[in-house]
Structures are given as C-alpha cells and as structure tokens.
Structure 1
Amino acid sequence: MQDRFLITRIVFIAVFMSLSACLQVFANVFIYWREALLHDFWRLWTAHWVHVGWVHFVLNMLAFMCLPFIFPRAQVRHFIALLLLLPPCISLCFYYFLTDISAYAGLSGVLHGAYVTVACIHLLYPRERNFAALVLLLVLGKLLWENSFGSMGTAELIGSPVLVEAHLLGVIWGMIFAVVYVIHMYVTDK
C-alpha cells in the first residue's frame, strides 16, 4: 500500500511538471493576457502553469513537489482538483477586480491556495493539527511580510516582479475551498 501511495504521488508530480515544462516552451501563448483572456479561455488555467522563466519554474516546482508528501491524508485527486479549480478563480479575480493587472504567469498563487486548503482540512485531524497550524502560520507570515516589505529578493531571482495579489487570492480561494470541502464531508457523512 505504501508503494502505491509513493508511486501515485511521484507519477502525479512528474506528469504535472512535464506538462508545465512543455507549456513553458511557448509561454506567451499560455500566460494571462488581460486583453486575450476571454477569447483564449485556456489562459484561465495555463497562466498559472507557466512561469516567467526557468528559475521561476524550478522554484515553484520545488514547492509543488513537497505538497503531496507533507500532507499524507490528501489524495492525488484532491491535488488535481485544486490545480483545476484555483487557476480560473484567481484569473477571473484578476480580470474583474484587479483590472490593472495586464499580464501574469506563475504557480505561486495556486500553491498558496493549495497549501492553505490542505492545511485547513488537516486541522480536523488531531495527529496533523500542529503541523497544519504551523503551515498556516508560515503562509500568513509570508503574506504579511510580502505586503509589508515586498519580495525584492525573489523578484531579482526570477527576473520579474512578484504579484503578491496572486498569493493573497490563492489563500482566500484556498480557505473557501477548504470550508466547502469540510461542509461536503459532514453532509455526506450523515
């Protein structure tokens, strides 16, 4: 059983990283362009699966690779759902509420949302509660730091400004999805 758990997660990570790397080759076709978003609807998703460069890609993929292993109760199907649900929610928030954002690429908003969703759900399990709370505190601390002092070091490293609004939107949507999931769990258990 443990082997299947490990193999499933490794295959999931490899498939997503390969997809993201392939999209990276033609990133301009897949990034968020405000003017093209509603005509090129795939950008709602792909904008979050491509990056501004390969350093950005590697950094996000390192954070992505950790997620399925640090929260063992979450299943691969949950991660797939988050990779499909979070991107259009964030993209549509850019489009309708943050109209000054004309271009965006990167997984970090989705990563913030995924970490928060899974951590919030793991608060329900006594054995995982302390670790989940630590992850949530670290994400909160990161958001506070970015919104107070900025992300100049990261921006220099990836060669592009960091759009901290994506991180915040990811966290907000992550909390919403966690609440919906918990409600769904309790409704279907009864």
Structure 2
Amino acid sequence: MSYKLPPLWFGVLAISALCGLLQLLGLTDLLAYQRSEIGNGEYWRLLTGNLLHTNLWHLLMNLSGMWVVVFIHRMHYSASGFIGLMLSLLVVEGIGLYFAVPSLWGYVGLSGVLHGLFSFGSLCDIKCGLQSGYLLLLGVSVKVGWEQYAGANSEVTNLINAPVAIDAHLIGLLSGVILFGLYWLGSRLLHKHLQ
C-alpha cells in the first residue's frame, strides 16, 4: 500500500523549498526588506524580505514553526487556499511594516507571517466552534503583547545572530486577524448572494 501526501503539504513544501533555495543562493542584497530600497521603487522587497533568513538556525526555526502551525490548523486549508493565504500574509506583512514601523530599516524572516497564519487558523477554529481556538488566539496575543512590553528573547537573538523584529510579530498577528475578517465577510456576502 502506498501513501499519498495530501495536496496541502505540497504547498507547505513549496514555501519551504523556496525559502531554502533563497537561503542557499544568498540573495539577501537583492531581496531583503530594506526601507530605503523599497522607497526607491524596489517593491518586491515587501514580499521577498519575509522569505529570507539571517542564518540556517533562523531558517530552520521558521520553517519548523510553519509546519507545526499548518499541522494544527490543517483542516481549514486546501493547497490553493494555503498558498493564497501565505501570499496575502507576505504582502500585508511587508506593507504593514513599511507604513506602521518607519523605524525598521531592514528585516528578513518568516516569523511575522507565521504569527498571522497562527491567528488566522485560531479564528478559523473559533468559527468552526472549536473552543481551543480562543485559547490559541489568547496565547499568541499574550506572547506578542509580552514581547512589546519586555522585548525579544535574548537567546533567540543570539541564535539567529540578529535582533528579533518583534514589531513584525505584531503586524503579522494583526494581518491574520484582518485577512480572516475579509475572508469571513467575503464568505458571508457570497452565501447571501447564492441564496
């Protein structure tokens, strides 16, 4: 008997492979989020900066985090829905950082997007009647709030060899909530239109 990987995991694998390839190719100068370059018209950096990482530990932490978050909320996603959500989160994260955090001049990492993915999935849980969604949403909100108050974890800062962009986590959390709100509103309008 052969085992067939569900289509969702091909989407997760594709994002992982893209991040790994970008790390291997060392395209930070061309693709990292850099405010000055974005201001000069290099808008792709709003998206691609999220896919780059400072080092192998940073990459492995973020990719393993993505796999765990998707596993927790896998029942809510199709492969195309996951890819669409990730692209939306990448864009909203980059734009959010650019307009809401003018002091951030450079950034790489997927962690902000992962906070958005986690909050989106937690809200999907709540929408489906899963009480654990409230606990998950509260947990990620407390974590992000604590970071805003106390700062980043020094061990993580040392491991990734860069300051942890805690504002990216906040923007990511809010991005997930906003995108879920748009998704919920869109599905309500579609349902009403089809009646």
- Given the two structures, how large is their TM-score scaled by the length of structure 2? 0.87
Distance 2:100 2:132 in 1: 34
CA contact (8 A) 1:112 1:167 kept: yes
Structure 1 equivalent of residue 79 of structure 2: 76
- Aligned pair count reads 185
Distance 1:97 1:189 in 2: 34
Structure 2 equivalent of residue 186 of structure 1: 188
Distance 2:33 2:81 in 1: 24
Where structure 1 has 5 or more consecutive residues not aligned to the other structure, the ranges are none
Q: Deviations over 1:57-90 (max 9, x none)?
A: 0000001112222111222222212221122222
Q: Deviations over 1:150-180 (max 9, x none)?
A: 2222111211111111010111111111111
Q: 1:14 aligns to what SS in structure 2?
A: helix
CA contact (8 A) 1:121 1:182 kept: no
Q: 1:37 aligns to what SS in structure 2?
A: helix
RMSD: 1.6
Distance 1:113 1:145 in 2: 17
Q: How does 1:149-188 map to 2 (within 5 A)?
A: 149-151=150-152, 152-188=154-190
Distance 1:67 1:148 in 2: 25
Distance 1:78 1:132 in 2: 19
Distance 2:191 2:181 in 1: 15
Distance 1:45 1:62 in 2: 20
Structure 2 equivalent of residue 131 of structure 1: 132
Deviation at 1:145, TM superposition (A): 2.0
Distance 1:97 1:115 in 2: 21
Q: How does 1:102-113 map to 2 (within 5 A)?
A: 102-113=105-116
Where structure 2 has 5 or more consecutive residues not aligned to the other structure, the ranges are none
CA contact (8 A) 1:44 1:92 kept: yes
Identity %: 27
CA contact (8 A) 2:76 2:124 kept: no
Q: 1:121 aligns with which of 116, 121, 124?
A: 124
CA contact (8 A) 1:114 1:174 kept: yes
Structure 2 equivalent of residue 141 of structure 1: 142
Deviation at 1:56, TM superposition (A): 0.5
Name the amino acid aligned to 1:50: L
Structure 1 equivalent of residue 44 of structure 2: 42
- Given the two structures, how large is their TM-score scaled by the length of structure 1? 0.90
Distance 2:81 2:125 in 1: 13
